[in-house]
Amino acid sequence: MTPASKSRWRIAAWPLGIVAAALIGVVVCETQGWPFLKGPVQQQLSKRLQRPVEFGDTFKLKLFGSIRVDTSSLRIGPPDGLAADSLLSGDLVNAKSAHLELPYATLRQLARKDNTEAPRIASLRFGEVDASLKRLADGHSNWAFAPTQAAATQRQFDLPTVDELVVEHGHVAFDDAVLKTSFAAKVSTSEGDRASVQNGQAAGLVVEGRGNHEKLPFQFRVTSAGVLPLVARDTATAVPITIRLSGGSEAKFTFDGTGTDVLSFQAIDGTATLSGPSLAKVGDALGITLPTTERFTLKGRLSKSGQRWAFKNADLDVGDSHLGGNFSYDRAPQVPMLTGELNGSHLVLADLLPAFGAPKPGTEKAKAHVVAQGGRVLPDRELDIPSLRWMNANVKVRLTRAELGTLFRQPLAPLDGDLTLDGGVLRLSNLLARAAGGEVKGNLGLDGTQANPLWTANVRWAGIELDQWLRPRNKTSQQPKPSGENPGYVTGRLGGHAQLQAHGRSTAKMIASTDGTVQAWVRDGTISHLIVEAAGIDIAQGLGLLIVGDDPLPMNCAVVKANAKAGLLTPEAAMVDTRDSTLLITGSVNLADERLALVMTSKPKDMSPATLRSPVRLEGTFDHPQVYLEKKPIGLKVLASAALAMVHPLAALIPLFDPGDKDGAGGCQRTLQHLRDADGPAGVRDAKAPKANDKSLPPDPAARHAAASAPMRK
């Protein structure tokens, strides 16, 4: 080697030596844990987290790959700038034997002034820890490491994202004014050694405590076999886990299965049972939109993978209803999504009334409800319309049977529909139900995006055999069925169409603003002769029927068409026409004031020697309806009869004599002209074909064809 080469080598060796020495120094410092960086790291973390951070006497720092800190103690104080008496004062964390790991991406995130995301912590491990988490009603919290967003809602929960959290012994105090929830919990883990078992200590993880949600107390206990990290999102190892949560007699939840974490429930699977006073209360706690119901019990298989929850083989008892299904709830989308199928063998529609603010009929709650509302029947409790925006949904409804109430002999069997919730708009579409040989079809909707929510209904029904459908039986009938059973008071095939819309945040306001039309008709029907004579107060014929027995009268037509405007329901045409009499109904029903003002008038077609023809009035309120006769016509007939009786006893019958009106049947055909679709809903036909001389149809063939083929109006 020449002198020049040696000189060049010496010059190059110095930088290489410096780099090598630096690398050796870094390796030594990394091995020793950079003890001299304790102070600078405390200062930087305090600056970045905007709160005091202090390490214990033992301190080791690792910088390769990520920032890892091991220390004998760790203190994370309250946010900077708080007064001593602030509700957020006090340390966030006090821990012993602490391990903290932060990715460099988290430091870059915290360094950005415009950062609003919760930081990610790769690992937190504590031998002992006391943590106090607090959030005020305005959204400010002691755990937020970024500026509080202006619109803090109940659905925000901006704790740092922790990939792994392990606590051997600890205490956690949680107080959140936004969620209206607070609790205190003890956390401990053990390997299940003999000493622990002999002392009665459960092997593995135990988390237990008490708290309050919306002023309702609850207690909980979570256990696992073996040592289970509170959060371990990257592990695939699942261990047995049990969860017990109760709120006194109000609500209970149990879970028995396997899981990989407790706090975030990234992966669990097992059997679950949930019971409580109402599905809505449980839904509010979980951030899910569910209806208000009677007390319920729900059983099934609960699982979770990532952000998707699944509940399979659901078995739901609510009130007198027994339902089931399979459901999936995905929290990954910006608006969570609920999908699945609701099925079941038995739904009692009265169990749905609490969802509209009304208690179940016939209960003490129902009586107290009317009294509390000053005698008003329609519930005025404001419905939780804003919760419709909490999630979207697509649920198939496939019910075997739906009970309508004690008035009906047969249920709706089956009852199908498609329930969707999209952006605050709730729809029940493709509604199809069958009952007593007929069908019900239509759509229901609620648009919660409007300032004054819009309710809509477009429902058609046809071919429902009233004798099979209605429960009341005519015990005075002369014509019992071959089975010996008495027939109904009214028979025939019922059809109709309701097209309504309304606005309001409560059931009462919604019904009080109803607009639209309702029309119904009965084809090939009969009506109790005794009812017709009673409506006309025909004393002679009524007594005769009571003696020899009732017989059904064929109805030439039985139709009603009523218009609703701002909650005032007025019959445009309402009549029942038989060979004996024509019954007409006029007046109105005020849905806003809950008052009745209806008048039923009977126009006889046959002669009667003794009748007190007088309109029958139905008045009063929904809670206390009153039926009475108009006194003036009866009084005039009685006075005239009494005066003529003084001349001759038989003369007293003259004012009571009614010759009848044989031409009264013409009103039936005129009334049918008001019903454009008198042959029933489009696409639905009665079981029996219409007769050629069927007087329940419009007489004009063109009108009949238009009626039969009329599409459902949107």
**Mean pLDDT along residues 536-564:** 64
Q: Is 64 exposed, middle or buried (0-12, 13-18, 19+ CB in 10 A)?
A: exposed
8 Å CB contact between 69 and 54: no
Tell me how far the alpha carbon of residue 593 is from its chain's centroid. 28
Residue-level pLDDT at 564: 95
Q: What is the DSSP pairing of strand 267-276 with strand 252-259?
A: antiparallel
Q: Which helix (H) or strand (E) holds 368?
A: helix 364-372
Span 644-657, pLDDT tens digits: 455 545 444 444 44
Bridge partners of 303, per DSSP, are 269, 310
664-682 confidence digits (pLDDT tens): 545 566 666 655 544 443 3
Helices (H) and strands (E) in the chain, counts: 13, 33
Classified as helix, coil or strand, 563 is strand
Chain Cα centroid distance, residue 178: 22
Q: Is 518 left (phi over 0), alpha (psi -120 to 50) or beta?
A: beta
Element (H, E) at 355: none
Question: Distance between CA atoms of 244 and 438, rounded to whole angstroms?
Answer: 48
Q: What is the pLDDT of residue 110?
A: 72
Residue 478 token pair: 């002369």
Separation of alpha carbons 336 and 328, rounded Å:
10
* 414 upstream amide cis, omega within 30 of 0: yes
Q: Is 660 left (phi over 0), alpha (psi -120 to 50) or beta?
A: left
Give the three-class secondary structure for 496: strand
Q: If you average pLDDT over every residue of the chain, what do you get? A: 77
- Whether pLDDT at 167 is above 50: yes
Burial of 115 (0-12, 13-18, 19+ CB in 10 A): middle
pLDDT of residue 156: 42
- What does 609-675 look like in DSSP terms, one character per residue? SSB----EEEEEESSSEEEEE-HHHHHHHHHHHHHHHTT-GGGGGTTT-B---GGGGHHHHHHHTT-
Spell out a b/e string for 187-216, using b for 16 or more CB atoms within 10 Å of the CB, else e.
bbbbeeeeeeeeeeebbbbbbbbebebeeb
- % of the chain surpassing 70 pLDDT: 69
Q: Is the pLDDT of residue 279 over 70?
A: yes
CA neighbor of 588 nearest in space, from 615, 619, 613, 614: 619
Please tell me the least confidently modeled range out of 7-21, 286-300, 317-331, 348-362.
Answer: 7-21
Q: What contacts 572, CB < 8 A, 6 or more positions away?
A: 561, 562, 563, 674
Rounded to whole angstroms, the Cα distance separating 587 from 267 reads 64
Token readout for 491 is 């028979």
Mean pLDDT is lowest, of 227-236, 464-473, 485-494, for: 227-236
Q: Which of 2-11, 277-286, 548-557, 669-678 is predicted with the least confidence, judged by mean pLDDT?
A: 669-678
Give the least confident one: 52-66, 513-527, 620-634: 620-634
**Average pLDDT value for residue range 326-348:** 92
> Rounded to whole angstroms, how far apart are CA atoms 245 and 251?
8
Amino acid identity at 393: A
Name the residue ranges covered by the structural domains of the chain.
23-145+158-179, 460-495+522-625+654-697
Q: Give the Cα-Cα-Cα angle 617, 571, 601 (nearest 5 degrees).
A: 35
Answer yes or no: are the C-beta atoms of 257 and 302 closer than 8 Å: yes
8-state DSSP, 331: -
* Residue 3 confidence class, pLDDT cut points 50, 70, 90: low
- pLDDT at residue number 114: 67
HSE-CB for 318 with a 13 A CA cutoff: 29
**Which pLDDT score is estimated for 538?**
42
